[in-house]
Structure 1
Amino acid sequence: MQHYVVLINPECEEAQRISNNLAETVFPYRNNLSLIQEIAGYLLSQGFPSEAVSEEWLMPLDAFMRALNNEETGLSKSENFYAAHIAWAYSEHPRNIAGALEDICYLLKETQWDPGNVDMKIYDFTSADMEWLYSRHKSAIIQWQSDKGLTLDDLDFYLENVLDKSPHILWEVVYRWALQLVKHS
């Protein structure tokens, strides 16, 4: 997952609305489109002009923060500068993993997440969220658990939990899988 700040063209009359619309959006990785093409397409689909953004106004989050801390951004609301934090589920992983990342990002979309708090945001997923992820990525999750050699004991569960059909086992396995996937992509 790569994080960016996109600055909105200050000449665009709807800069503030565009910034609010773009904020916290997670764009999927498609090898035939660049991130700026993804953003422009998204803006068009939302009824905004694609010219509101350009490659020169797209900055990796860490570079933007350094520039901001060194007062090198030149941003001012009085000059109609607006910005939005976005993420790109950029992945060179096989498609099944990229699809899993897109699903996790979909569940994270309405949260104020970043690499430092993603474990807590995934921890807040509901049982229904975890069941949905499991239903869509069952094979990958089982393969991951097998590859890691995780047993019930590693997860602090016992045979009685399985026999009682404890939903907590599913939640714990999917939580660990999703967290590992996001942190290592």
Structure 2
Amino acid sequence: MTSALLDPERQFLGCLMQLPLTHARRVLTGMCPGDLADPTASFVLHLAIRAVANDQRPAPVVLFEHAQEIAERPRASRLREVALWLADVYQAAPAAPVEHAAYLKAVVLKAAWRRAVAEHAHRLLQAASESATGELHELLDDTTAVDDLWSRYQAARNPNSVSARLEVAA
């Protein structure tokens, strides 16, 4: 069994690669490459956002083409890894990607929010023992990243709300 079957990030990207442009644009609304924990998945999301911004469907061949374009030096082994990753994820994607993509987006954003909360808590814990009181107070109040992810997660959970009707960032 492939690990793509059990990984929400890979399942999300597998669905995304099967969507028509209009659906892909809607699903990518509020998504950022940094939302994904896996570096390859993050890179592929970057490629998908780039493709959709260029009015291209995020099909595997389009994503691979974009990977080739942005590679500093064509590294055959790395590009081969990306190609195999794309094929594996595309093949393991759930049937009915339109129905699954929105749900998986919310799952991915919830995980990203939880990671952001954990990172913020870690910074606070470290600052509590190492930083000046003023710096600790500023860090305590700096929840911008966490709040942003929470808003995007809520919008993904409720795609018909007014705040969820944004455009994908290029």
Q: TM-score, normalized by length of structure 1?
A: 0.28
Indicate the structure with greater helix content.
2
Q: Relative contact order, CA 8 A, sep 6+: which one is greater?
A: 2
Q: TM-score, normalised by structure 2?
A: 0.29
CA radius of gyration, larger in:
1
